[in-house]
Amino acid sequence: MTTSDLAKMHLERPLNNNLTINERKAVKELKSLDNVIIKPADKGGNIVLLNRDMYIDMCMAHLSDVSNYSVLPSDPTEMYIKDFEALLTIALEQKIINMEEFKYLLPHKHPTVATLYCLPKVHKSVTTPPGRPIISGNNCLTERASKFVNEILHPYITDLPSYIQDTKSTLLILEGLQVPPYTLLASLDVVQ
């Protein structure tokens, strides 16, 4: 990666305020309620207000699934920092990365532990929506490495013939196809 590529990864977009004064006031009041959680919906661009207990139950449904999650006996961050720095040192010595990339990829001084939160799937149920688990890695040990790898792989992935961006792009592709009679079209839904 070039110096300018690394610099671009640090840029943050300015916030554009798209709410009226009354809307901002209403959002502020809702956010101040202790028993209400506000989250974006998993699909559709909606905003969902949930009772705090309902949201905690939604998250705990995932965390209590022992096939996907387990309780760690201790925080492994310090051990992972040492391992990660050793890998970066090897990559630098083997000239896989340069010094600027090495410095960029070094973890934050005090990385945070990744956090689980859930996005309500109101398209599945409006009254008791299941949640889509998201692991937020902001300021975590591998955040910069994830951005770095994504920046490198993105142009290759989007050039793959099998790459489909979203439902809208899929529909545009299908719209232009001549599908012979008796052709079977199928879609897959990934579930936990």
CA dihedral 173, 178, 183, 187 (to 10 degrees): 10
Q: What band does 13 get if pLDDT is binned at 50, 70 and 90?
A: low
Q: Is 92 part of a structural domain of the chain?
A: yes
pTM reported for the whole predicted model:
0.70
Quick one: average pLDDT of 141-166? Answer: 92
Q: Is 177 part of a structural domain of the chain?
A: no
Q: Is 167 part of a structural domain of the chain?
A: no
| Residue pair 44/122 in contact by the 8 Å Cβ criterion | yes
Quick one: average pLDDT of 9-37? Answer: 82
Q: Is 120 part of a structural domain of the chain?
A: yes
Q: Give the pLDDT confidence of 47-63 residue by residue, as tens digits.
A: 999 999 999 999 999 99
Question: Which range marks the domain in which residue 68 is found?
Answer: 3-9+18-160
Domain count, the chain: 1
Q: Cα(99)–Cα(94) distance, rounded to whole angstroms? A: 12
The rounded radius of gyration (Å) of the Cα atoms in the chain is 22
Q: Cα(40)–Cα(120) distance, rounded to whole angstroms? A: 7
**Judging by beta carbons within 10 Å of its beta carbon (0-12, 13-18, 19+), is residue 184 exposed, middle or buried?**
exposed
